[in-house]
Amino acid sequence: MNDASLRMSESGFPIKPVYEPNDVPLDTAARSGAPGEFPFVRGIHPGMYTNRLWTMRQYAGFATACESNRRYHELLNAGTTGLSIAFDLPTQMGYDSDNPLAHGEVGRVGVAIDSLEDMRTLFDGIPLDAVSVSMTINAPAAVLLLLYQIVAEEQGVSPAVLNGTIQNDILKEYIARGTYIFPPQPSLRLIMDTFAYCNRELPRWNMISISGYHMAEAGATPAQELAFTLANGVAYVRAALQAGMTLDEFAPRLAFFFVVRTAFLEEIAKFRAARRIWARIMREEFGAKNPKSAALRFHTQTAGVQLTAELPELNLVRVSVQALAAVFGGTQSLHTNAYDEALGLPTAAAAQLALRTQQVLAYETDVTSTVDPFAGSYAVESMTDDMERTVNELMARIEAMGGAAAAIERNFQRAEIEEAAYAQTQRIERGEQVVVGVNRFTSPASAGEEYVPLRVDPVVEQAQCERLRALRLRRDPAIVASSLTALRTAAAGSSNVLEPMKAALTAHATVGEVCDALRQEWGSYQP
């Protein structure tokens, strides 16, 4: 076959026009295993969706805790089976809403959470023993987790039954996202303290969601997303072992977070390859004995970067295709983006329509009737092998540099992503990569021209700051001061910082004050 006829995947390996039986090794079935068995290529559970559907999450949060709480109730009433919390940038960076650096950003891209009172309001009327909650928070992840635990305990819910995830993945912040606070070493120490705390107090909680999503949104190819994410996962496992933890105690609760794009077959192959690579790493490198330690569990979100402001109604089609690829790939939970997110914060109607997309896939199609429908496909099996090979080559380069953290210090991942993003932009501008409604099949008018996006009223910031000032007047300043001193003492030493942190938050120390206490001991990261 003439190589000129081959089309390249987004990851850089060729896609053949026709796949034949000899494109798939004879031992493919043996290397894939049965569903629920090592190396979990066909899924981490024997029955997958034939027994239980994926968790249907909708990422939401804006303005105040009260307004976001109303949105969560709407989503739960509409049938969502898990909440996913979006925090505003000041919260993500560990600043209170009245900090000058927070001005203009309060409640803009997520909900503003400054204190225990805000967290109470956020989950008012939501039974935390009956809902799974994912929180997209990283540098101050421990702070928000403890606030959540305190609210649950106030509801009478035992920490032992709390079910959810904090992202808590700081390495990818240095690579692609930028919402870091502390330098890498104290950041890793905080993550390890969180691991240890969860092992003792929150046995069902997923204490990290190792994320490739944001790298993909920055321009990483599917293979880069997978390689850099799994390399970060290896770094976290090594750090936990160095901290004296036992692999099979913490590894079963490691979770991952990936994007799903419109490159349908390649994305399915990516998820299947991810499970095989991680299973082999955990068994062969780290000696995992518990099968759950080797089973890669992941959440998926459809690709926000592929949504367009031009002809935004086409995003409905894009999200549907992406969601279907995630389901065929065997995701454990899924967020479908609203079609209007390229224009502003999702409206309630658009968010509900995104949820309905998942429900149509789950209840109106037959894709949940059988496990891993693409198993044995010449094309997908071959692409799974190609993806695995490409990812392993990238991971070997990172390992040769000394691992993920050392590669970050050399700017390797960021440079690779920037190069890939630039190459893709060039392809789109040249028309080689078609984006319908943008560089081909454009229309003179779009429904987006009449669309009225959801906007956060500037008075939200003023009201949030007033509530914060009132809280500071009501609380006991001496108790707050002594609890923050205890936190700084723990941070300066080697004891777990989460216990004194919880005491400070219970005394109504704010998120900003807790993070400032850690900044005083650990400093702030300057890239």
User: Could you read off the pLDDT of 191-210 as tens digits, one per residue?
Assistant: 999 999 999 999 999 999 99
pLDDT above 90 covers a percentage of the chain that reads 95
Q: Tell whether the model's pLDDT for residue 527 goes beyond 90.
A: no
Q: Tell whether the model's pLDDT for residue 469 goes beyond 60.
A: yes
Q: Tell whether the model's pLDDT for residue 294 goes beyond 90.
A: yes
Which stretches does DSSP call E strand in 287-423?
297-302, 333-335
Arithmetic mean of pLDDT over the chain: 95
For residues 463-467, average pLDDT: 97
Report pTM.
0.95
Q: Tell whether the model's pLDDT for residue 30 goes beyond 60.
A: yes
The pLDDT score that the predictor gives to residue 6 is 81
For residues 399-413, average pLDDT: 97
Residues ≥6 apart with Cβ < 8 Å to 154: 120
The 10 Å Cβ neighbour count of residue 411 is 13
Q: Tell whether the model's pLDDT for residue 505 goes beyond 70.
A: yes
The pLDDT score that the predictor gives to residue 3 is 58
The string of pLDDT tens digits covering residues 313-348 is 999 999 999 999 999 999 999 999 999 999 988 999
Residue type, 122: L
Residues ≥6 apart with Cβ < 8 Å to 281: 230, 234
The pLDDT score that the predictor gives to residue 440 is 95
Q: Tell whether the model's pLDDT for residue 240 goes beyond 70.
A: yes
- Cα dihedral 136, 209, 322, 427 sign: positive
Confidence of residue 479 (pLDDT cuts 50, 70, 90): very high
Nearest to 197 by CA among 498, 486, 490, 492: 498
The pLDDT score that the predictor gives to residue 85 is 97
Helices (H), 79-219: 89-92, 116-122, 141-154, 171-172, 184-201, 213-217
Confidence of residue 124 (pLDDT cuts 50, 70, 90): very high
The pLDDT score that the predictor gives to residue 449 is 56
For residues 454-458, average pLDDT: 81
The string of pLDDT tens digits covering residues 173-184 is 999 999 999 999
Confidence of residue 454 (pLDDT cuts 50, 70, 90): confident
Q: Tell whether the model's pLDDT for residue 36 goes beyond 60.
A: yes
Q: Tell whether the model's pLDDT for residue 227 goes beyond 60.
A: yes
The pLDDT score that the predictor gives to residue 112 is 98
Q: At 66, list the tokens.
A: 């009260």
Q: Tell whether the model's pLDDT for residue 256 goes beyond 80.
A: yes
The pLDDT score that the predictor gives to residue 445 is 59
The pLDDT score that the predictor gives to residue 453 is 73
Q: At 507, list the tokens.
A: 């005394």
* Contact in structure between 352 and 234 (CB atoms under 8 Å): no
The string of pLDDT tens digits covering residues 412-452 is 999 999 999 999 999 999 999 999 999 999 987 554 556 67
The pLDDT score that the predictor gives to residue 2 is 46
Cα dihedral value 477, 483, 486, 488, nearest 10? -70
